[in-house]
């Protein structure tokens, strides 16, 4: 009986995985149609891609992903990674999803890294329980304690892509968000949220856009005792925006090993090859401050999370040049337009290593909701 149950469960998982991969394919096809320029692959390029993936995973892949990124960037490489492969095959093998739900709650991030420089919360609401500066309080106490705040960030603790992030101040229990009271604001954010003091970023990052904290998104991969830096991109907000995510109109560009920014940035589906920030700064060659410190910081943090081999990190640089962790994502998306590849020089290595591992989702459900063609 147990064997039959296992076969049925595995079959259902495979069905759901294939269904999700087809959904990803339909999404990218729709996104491809929105592009201003469309590039086709040559027969030689198609063969190069399929030979590469057949050698790694034993099957062909949909070419629409390579066409999409090639069209956006003008750069062809066989190493673009189809998002269906990334989210339905690689991540479930690289990361133990039995721990994903709990670790995905941003309210526990500071608890995971004691002694590290992590964005701290003034107030947390976790599963309807309030904690003010780490101490449990009643809802009435939480409202009173947050009656007077200046330039703080409120955000859902279980959302991604900048959804629900707002900057606000409060005086005598009334916020500057359309005159909403603190009590009403808490009601709007429901069961799980956090309030944090705004990070004061390094002047060189504020120069790119002063209204948003312009974070470094680093994707790292743990291979034994080594942490590989797959890529780094900087996310830059647009004029007047509080968040830097592409879904809010932000732009992203690659940061090279020397900490210098790439030539062009990418934003929404039709926002390609942006050479300057809204403040007029030319991206190419601009030096990201404390880049080496940020990379060392990420490598150190990754070694403290043994259940996840692939992680996306959002790091800011404070005024004094120290890196500070804003949040991490154990189901990271990829910034393939900005980066110009899937996993870069580690593409073959990462796919080979992960493909040999068991697929954790044969026992647990797929967690691929709200996934976009690229990291936002």
Which residues lie below 8 Å from residue 26, measured CB to CB, with a gap of 6+?
none
Determine the pLDDT at residue 262. Answer: 97
Q: Give 269-319 pLDDT, tens digit per residue.
A: 667 889 999 999 999 999 999 999 999 999 999 999 999 999 999 999 999
Q: Please, what is the average pLDDT of the chain?
A: 91
Query: CA-to-CA distance for 213 and 7, rounded, in angstroms?
Result: 48
63 backbone dihedrals φ, ψ, rounded to 5°: -85, -5
- Considering the chain, what percentage of its residues have pLDDT values greater than 90? 77
pLDDT higher than 60, residue 368: no
> What confidence score (pLDDT) does residue 369 get?
46
- What tens digit of pLDDT does each residue of 176-185 get? 999 999 999 9
Pick the CATH number of 121-197 from 1.10.3470, 3.30.1890, 3.30.1490, 1.10.3120: 3.30.1490
Specify the DSSP element, H or E, that contains 167.
strand 166-171
What DSSP state is assigned to residue 319?
T
88 vs 22: CA distance, rounded Å = 11
Task: Evaluate if residue 363 carries a pLDDT over 50.
Answer: no
- Residue 312 and residue 94 in contact, taking contact as beta carbons nearer than 8 Å: no
Residues 6+ apart with CB under 8 A from 289: 202, 204, 205, 259, 317, 321
Report d(CA 292, CA 314) in Å as an integer: 15
Check pLDDT > 60 for residue 205: yes
Could you report the per-residue pLDDT of 7-62, keeping only the tens digit for each? Answer: 665 666 667 777 878 888 888 899 999 898 999 999 999 999 999 999 999 999 99
pLDDT at 365 over 50: no
**Residues 70 and 41: beta-carbon distance below 8 Å:** yes
pLDDT at residue number 362: 44
The segment(s) of the chain belonging to CATH 3.30.1490 are 121-197
Report the C-alpha gap between 329 and 25 in whole angstroms. 23
Residue pair 276/283 in contact (Cβ under 8 Å)? The answer is: yes
Q: How many CB atoms lie within 10 A of CB 42?
A: 9
Distance (Å, rounded) from C-alpha 128 to C-alpha 125? Answer: 6
- The per-residue pLDDT for 98 is 86
How far apart are alpha carbons 265 and 251 in whole angstroms?
A: 6
Q: Under CATH, what is the fold of the domain 13-117+199-376?
A: D-amino Acid Aminotransferase; Chain A, domain 1 (3.30.470)
């Amino acid at each position: 009986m147990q064997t039959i149950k296992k076969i049925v469960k595995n079959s259902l998982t495979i069905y759901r995985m294939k269904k999700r991969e087809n959904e990803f394919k339909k999404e990218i096809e729709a996104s491809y149609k929105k592009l201003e320029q469309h590039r086709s692959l040559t027969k030689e390029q198609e063969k190069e891609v399929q030979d590469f993936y057949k050698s790694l995973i034993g099957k062909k892949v949909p070419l629409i992903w390579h066409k999409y990124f090639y069209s956006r960037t003008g750069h062809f490489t066989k190493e673009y990674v189809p998002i269906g492969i990334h989210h339905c095959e690689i991540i479930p093998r690289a990361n133990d999803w039995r721990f994903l739900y709990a670790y995905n709650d941003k309210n526990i991030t500071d608890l995971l890294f004691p002694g590290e420089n992590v964005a701290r919360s003034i107030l947390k609401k976790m599963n309807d329980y309030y904690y003010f500066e780490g101490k449990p309080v009643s809802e009435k106490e939480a409202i009173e304690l947050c009656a007077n705040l200046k330039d703080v960030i409120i955000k859902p603790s279980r959302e991604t892509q900048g959804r629900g992030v707002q900057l606000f101040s409060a005086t005598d229990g009334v916020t500057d968000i359309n005159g909403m009271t603190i009590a009403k604001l808490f009601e709007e954010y429901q069961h799980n949220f956090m309030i944090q003091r705004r990070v004061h970023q390094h002047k060189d990052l504020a120069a790119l856009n002063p209204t948003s904290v312009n974070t470094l998104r680093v994707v790292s991969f743990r291979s034994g005792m080594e942490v590989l830096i797959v890529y780094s991109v900087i996310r830059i907000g647009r004029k007047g925006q509080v968040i830097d995510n592409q879904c809010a109109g932000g732009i992203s560009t690659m940061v090279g090993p020397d900490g210098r920014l790439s030539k062009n940035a990418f934003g929404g589906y039709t926002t390609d090859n942006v050479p300057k920030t809204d403040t007029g700064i030319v991206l190419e060659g601009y030096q990201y401050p404390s880049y080496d410190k940020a990379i060392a910081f990420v490598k150190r943090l990754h070694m403290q999370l043994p259940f996840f081999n692939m992680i996306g990190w959002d790091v800011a640089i404070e005024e004094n040049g120290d890196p500070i962790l804003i949040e991490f994502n154990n189901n990271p998306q990829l910034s393939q337009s900005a980066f110009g590849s899937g996993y870069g020089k580690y593409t073959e290595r990462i796919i080979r290593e992960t493909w040999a591992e068991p697929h954790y989702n044969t026992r647990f459900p797929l967690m691929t909701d709200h996934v976009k063609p690229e990291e936002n």
